[in-house]
Amino acid sequence: MAMYRKLGKTSSQRKALLRNQVTMLLNNGRITTTEARAKEIQKIVEPMIALAVKEKDNFDEVTVKAKVAQKDKDGKRVKKEVDGKKVTVFDEVDKTIKKDRPSRLHARRQMLKTLYSVKDVPTENQGKKKATKTVDLTAKLFDEIAPKYADRNGGYTRIVKIGQRKGDAAMMVIIELV
């Protein structure tokens, strides 16, 4: 007996499919898929969320000095002339950043092995390439999803059957974060 379902795909296709569906589940909170795929997705997502819950508070806050460009009222960078060249004017600002401890860093890298990068496009800026933003799913796991499940011992996903698909009668389900 196999430890996983082959899903009628080669290993590279199967890995890509599962990575994509895990990424979309964590990004959107719920997806519709077949029952066999949902059970495989659940095997990947549950340990990932458990790892995020375990490591959610494992960081140090560090204050660093950063150079930030001055901006005018229109949001454009302020420039001044030095030796005949226009140079951007910078201010030094103290910023507080989260510095991961080694175990949290390892957990982050383990998650990044599975997750794809996601680009988010606001609805009012559809079709504009500059309006896209990259979503950091590992940060979302640590900052949003893990605190939600901190007092829960497993069972982070739910599978709800919605009926058979019309074409091949495969059982369709919704898998969602509880």
pLDDT tens digits, 67-77: 988 888 888 88
Per the DSSP assignment, residues forming a β-bridge with 100 are 59
CB 27, CB 177: distance < 8 Å: no
Q: How do residues 94-106 score in pLDDT, each as one tens digit?
A: 999 999 999 999 9
What's the angle, vertex CA 169, arms to CA 165 and CA 173, rounded to 5? 50
**Residue scoring higher pLDDT (2 or 159):** 159
Q: Where in the chain is CATH 3.90.1030.10?
A: 11-58+101-177
CATH architecture of 11-58+101-177: Alpha-Beta Complex (3.90)
Task: Give pTM, 2 decimals.
Answer: 0.83
Question: Which tokens sit at 49?
Answer: 């969320």
Evaluate if residue 137 carries a pLDDT over 90: yes
CA 13 to chain centre: 21
